Amino acid sequence: MDRLGEIHQLLIALPGYTVTINLEVLVMTGVVVLLALIFGFAAGRKTGLLPGPFQIIGELLVSQLYGLTEEALGKRYAKIYAPMICALFIFLLISNWLGILPHLEEPTRDLNTPLGLGIMGFVIAHYVGIKEKGFKVYIKSYFEPVFFLMPLNVIGELAKIVSISFRLFGNIMGGAIIILVVSYLTFNILLPPFLNAFFGLFVGTIQAFVFTMLTVVYISVQLK
Amino acid sequence: MTLPAFDNPTLTHVAAYIGAAVAMGFGAIGAATGEGFTASKASEAIARNREHSGDIIKNMLVGQAISESASIFSLVVAILLLFMEIPDPGMVKAASLLGAGLCMGFGAIGSGVGAGVPAGRSCLAIARQPAISGRITTNMLIGTAVCQTPAIFAMVVALILLFKPTAGVPAFPTAAALIGAGLSTGLAAVGSGYGGGMAAGASCEGVARQPENATAVTTTMLVGQAVAQTPSVFGLLISFILMFRTFPESSALSASVGLFSAGLCMGLGGIGPGIGNGMTAEGAVRWVARRITYAGDLMRIMLVGQAVSQSTAIYAMVVSLALIFVV
């Protein structure tokens, strides 16, 4: 029970301020990247007309996500952003699934990961918006419908980062806390595997998909 | 008549018992209503299509089991409140336990009712299209699971409040902040849970109506539900700030009331946008199923409409943040 909310941090004191590094998140993100690389290697190593199991999974993921991106962004932008969207989904999927393995933790359980990815999506969306519409039209969209609503429009845009990142973080961390508490209450008998399957595999998949789709949708809203 | 001794352990236990009663009492409302709705729709479905009553009953039971989970969360929190050992009794712990009870009690209402809607509508959908009952049940499971997100947020906040160490923390205004933290996530979850359910219900209907558009319908549902959940995400944010920020000790009434009101403001402010966004998503999902060629436009209009309807939740969040950091 003492592990609830425990974080291992590396504090580096610099003159003026302290740099805080969450060690576990760094290591686990590395594990996720490594697993993604292994998957990519296994999927792309021996490609052929008669695909192996990894090639099938890889092709399925990429073609589905490419299709969804193309539907939302159109052909031109899908070509640029679909690889990023596929990478985002695969990273999040492996991240959210990592917690079902003992001694490993989801990097998404720490707010820094979802927040970083959320800010990334936000910056990309607004970059695309400025590039597509031109700076003047882009700025003008904040002053609609009436000019004095500008501050609220800006807050509304920033609230998107809060909502997209806290949704993922709350779900993954919530699942982890519920698994921890229920395992403690039931002395690790019977229930934890089912809870891991539900929160780790099922909710993890859905939330990875929702995060990816919302990133696509935020970009597509800026395009129109 | 003499009043019992009003020392710290008594106070803490009183708070824990009231918290347990609130958690389980309110927590029972949503799931029971939702399950009743499911059963009523299942009856209608069986009346329409007697041959597939086996599939329909199976689907009904699975759906009801998921709607029930919100009230099982409440049960867990209530039992913890009743039987857990309280390490550092005092004013802050009492407020923390009461906050946990309030949070879980209110937080289970929306998800319970909401998860009942897709469960019921999917029974009707199976009666209409028995051939794809597997696809409909999967869609229902995804929809109801996403409906549980606000209840999961509420349970997380309740568990953090239960186990938060409070020894040596000044009583005021932290005590008020912790009750506010419970109310913020708890109340904000009411609207989001129900709203997500409406979107999921429409998607079950939509899958049955146009099975070939099932993927687009499920995707629209997930995006709509995710946006409908934003108010409860804001509630979670305010709760986290209220729980983890250290407030300087102050016996001034205004400081305590300010923090309590911050939680109350975000909680109440999140109810309406959650339901409204759910309605928007419901309409969009229904028409994506019928007119797949307009799916892109429908999704965009849904998002724009939801953003406008959500602005009130953002106003509530701004006022809450002002109450915490400025006033």
pLDDT digits over B114-163, tens only?
A: 999 999 999 999 999 999 989 999 999 999 989 999 999 999 999 999 98
Contact B303 A170 (CB under 8 A): no
A39 at interface of B, judged by CB pairs closer than 8 A:
no
pLDDT digits over A31-75, tens only?
A: 999 999 999 998 888 777 888 888 899 999 999 999 889 888 889
Considering the domain boundaries, does residue A85 fall inside one? Answer: yes
Nearest to A181 among B159, B233, B237 (CB): B159
Interface test with B, best of A166, A195, A213 (most B CBs within 10 A): A166
pLDDT digits over A76-129, tens only?
A: 999 999 999 999 999 999 999 998 888 888 899 888 999 999 999 999 999 999
Question: Minimal Cα distance from A165: which residue of B?
Answer: B233
Considering the domain boundaries, does residue A3 fall inside one? Answer: no
How many structural domains compose chain A? 1
Q: Give bridge partners of residue A19 from the DSSP assignment.
A: A12
Whole-angstrom Cα distance, residue B258 to residue B326? Answer: 10
| Confidence at B6, pLDDT banded by 50, 70, 90 | low
- Helix (H/G/I), strand (E/B), else coil: A66: helix
Nearest to B237 among A5, A166, A198 (CB): A166
Contact A155 B145 (CB under 8 A): no
**Cα angle A58, A61, A65; round to 5:** 140
Taking the CA of residue A27 and the nearest CA in chain B, the distance in Å comes to 25
Considering the domain boundaries, does residue B204 fall inside one? Answer: yes
How many structural domains compose chain B? 1
Considering the domain boundaries, does residue B240 fall inside one? Answer: yes
Considering the domain boundaries, does residue A4 fall inside one? Answer: no
Indicate whether B5 pLDDT > 70: no
Taking the CA of residue B41 and the nearest CA in chain A, the distance in Å comes to 26
Contact A72 B317 (CB under 8 A): no
Taking the CA of residue B177 and the nearest CA in chain A, the distance in Å comes to 19
Considering the domain boundaries, does residue A180 fall inside one? Answer: yes
The CATH number for B78's domain is: 1.20.120.610
Contact B230 A163 (CB under 8 A): yes
Average pLDDT over residues B286-303: 88
Contact B230 A167 (CB under 8 A): yes
Contact B233 A185 (CB under 8 A): no
Kindly list the residues from chain A whose CB atom is less than 8 angstroms away from the CB atom of residue B317: 159
Rg (alpha carbons) of chain B, rounded to whole number: 21
- Helix (H/G/I), strand (E/B), else coil: A22: strand
By the 8 A CB rule, do B327 and B316 touch? no
Structure tokens at B326: 């400025």
Contact A171 B318 (CB under 8 A): no
Q: At what angle do helices A150-185 and A204-223 cross, to 10 degrees?
A: 170
Burial A108-147 (b: 16+ CB within 10 A, else e): bbbbbbbbebbeebbebbeebbeeebeeeeeeeeeeeeee
Q: What is the ipTM of this complex?
A: 0.81
**Which residue, A198, A199, A192, is CA-closest to A168?**
A199
Q: Give the pLDDT of residue A90.
A: 94
Q: Give the pLDDT of residue A145.
A: 74
Rg (alpha carbons) of chain A, rounded to whole number: 20
Q: Is the pTM of this model over 0.90?
A: no
Measure CA A198 to chain center.
18
Average pLDDT over residues A210-220: 90
| A to B CB pairs, distance under 8 Å | 92
Average pLDDT over residues A130-157: 84
Considering the domain boundaries, does residue B3 fall inside one? Answer: no
Residue A22: partners with Cβ closer than 8 Å, 6 or more residues away: A7, A8, A9, A10, A110, A112
Contact B149 A210 (CB under 8 A): no
Considering the domain boundaries, does residue A173 fall inside one? Answer: yes
A174 at interface of B, judged by CB pairs closer than 8 A:
yes
Structure tokens at A170: 């709350």
Q: Give the pLDDT of residue A195.
A: 87
DSSP B167-206: TT--STTHHHHHHHHHHHHHHHHHHHHHHHHHHHHHHHHH
Indicate whether B168 pLDDT > 90: no
Average pLDDT over residues B14-21: 94
Question: Minimal Cα distance from A180: which residue of B?
Answer: B159
Considering the domain boundaries, does residue B48 fall inside one? Answer: yes
Question: Minimal Cα distance from A219: which residue of B?
Answer: B300
**How many CA atoms, within 13 angstroms, populate the side-chain half-sphere of residue A34?**
7
Kindly list the residues from chain B whose CB atom is less than 8 angstroms away from the CB atom of residue A219: none
Q: What are phi and psi of A4, to 5 degrees?
A: -60, 115
- Helix (H/G/I), strand (E/B), else coil: B2: coil
Considering the domain boundaries, does residue A1 fall inside one? Answer: no
Question: Minimal Cα distance from B307: which residue of A?
Answer: A156
The residue range of the domain holding B178 is 8-326
Q: Which residue has the higher pLDDT, A48 or A134?
A: A134
Q: Which residue has the higher pLDDT, A2 or B304?
A: B304
Indicate whether B46 pLDDT > 60: yes
Considering the domain boundaries, does residue A2 fall inside one? Answer: no
The residue range of the domain holding A216 is 9-223
Q: Give the pLDDT of residue A6.
A: 60
pLDDT digits over B64-74, tens only?
A: 998 898 999 99
Q: Give the pLDDT of residue A21.
A: 83
A197 at interface of B, judged by CB pairs closer than 8 A:
no
